[in-house]
Amino acid sequence: MYTITESLKQFVDSEILPLYDQFDAAHQRAHALQVIVESMHLMTLDAVKALGAEPLNADMVYAIAAYHDVGLSEDRATHHLVSGRRVRTDRRLLKWFTPQQIELMAQAVEDHRASATHAPRSIYGCIVAEADRNIDIEVIMQRTLQYGLAHYPELERSQHIERALQHLHEKYGPHGYLKLWIPGSRNQRELHRLWNMLDDEANIVAQLNTIFDRLS
């Protein structure tokens, strides 16, 4: 069982989570909270414990998840690096963490991005990267369409569906760039289920259209 330092929770609730309210619909506060919840769950799994040489620090796991996307306030393409910089330079964190812990946290935040070409440098990076994947198939399809509607409003309906389908193949398909780092996870099982769904294009297009109707 783990506990989070109450003052850290209060700080995150009042100073960090509100930052997500300005982001696109797919990366607002609900997403940050989901990554926090999933990160805290993952750290209790035997498969995760086996990957680390030392017991995990629950406060670090919590803070990493809270900070992982704050860099979206500056730039999407490099938001993981901006988020890492924010961790390194936020001196308020010294109330709860040593400089060495803060550096490890910054690296974990930098390593969370799905398109990263290298494995996370620590178990903390593995946890936040896996938690950020959150492979809930309907949520993935909804977030993909939400992003398209927010950033490409000029597209017609059929173009939004095509863009979403292409993204699903490029990121989540059998040869997609998304990588998972925790063996036997729920994400791994759901990813394999999504692969099977992508083989039935007519069915997944129908589901995307249903979600599009709900969003538009």
Using the predicted structure, report yes or no on whether residue 207 has a pLDDT greater than 70. Answer: yes
CA contacts within 13 A on the Cβ side of 214: 13
Residue 210 CB neighbour total at 10 angstroms: 11
- Find, among 152, 104, 128, the residue nearest to 36 by Cα: 128
Q: Cα–Cα distance between 26 and 144 in angstroms, integer?
A: 8
Residues 141, 114 share a domain: no
Residues 141, 129 share a domain: no
Residues 146, 115 share a domain: no
The verdict on residue 175 lying in a domain is: yes
Residues 181, 160 share a domain: yes
Residues 142, 117 share a domain: no
What does the pLDDT look like over 54-85, one tens digit per residue?
789 999 999 999 999 999 878 777 788 889 99
Residues 108, 46 share a domain: yes
Last residue of a domain, one of 85, 102, 133: 133
**∠62-68-72 over CA atoms, to 5°?**
145
The verdict on residue 180 lying in a domain is: yes
Last residue of a domain, one of 104, 133, 162: 133
Full domain range(s) for residue 61: 6-133
Using the predicted structure, report yes or no on whether residue 115 has a pLDDT greater than 70. Answer: no
What does the pLDDT look like over 128-148, one tens digit per residue?
999 998 788 998 999 899 999
Query: Number of structural domains, the chain?
Result: 2
Residues 64, 167 share a domain: no
Q: What is the pLDDT of residue 182?
A: 86
What does the pLDDT look like over 182-202, one tens digit per residue?
887 889 999 999 999 999 999
The verdict on residue 187 lying in a domain is: yes
Residues 184, 125 share a domain: no
- Find, among 201, 180, 200, 199, the residue nearest to 191 by Cα: 180
Residues 115, 37 share a domain: yes
* Sign of the dihedral through C-alpha 5, 129, 141, 135: negative
What does the pLDDT look like over 9-42, one tens digit per residue?
999 999 999 999 988 766 789 999 999 999 999 9
Burial pattern 151-162, b for ≥16 Cβ within 10 A else e, equals eeeeeeeeebbe
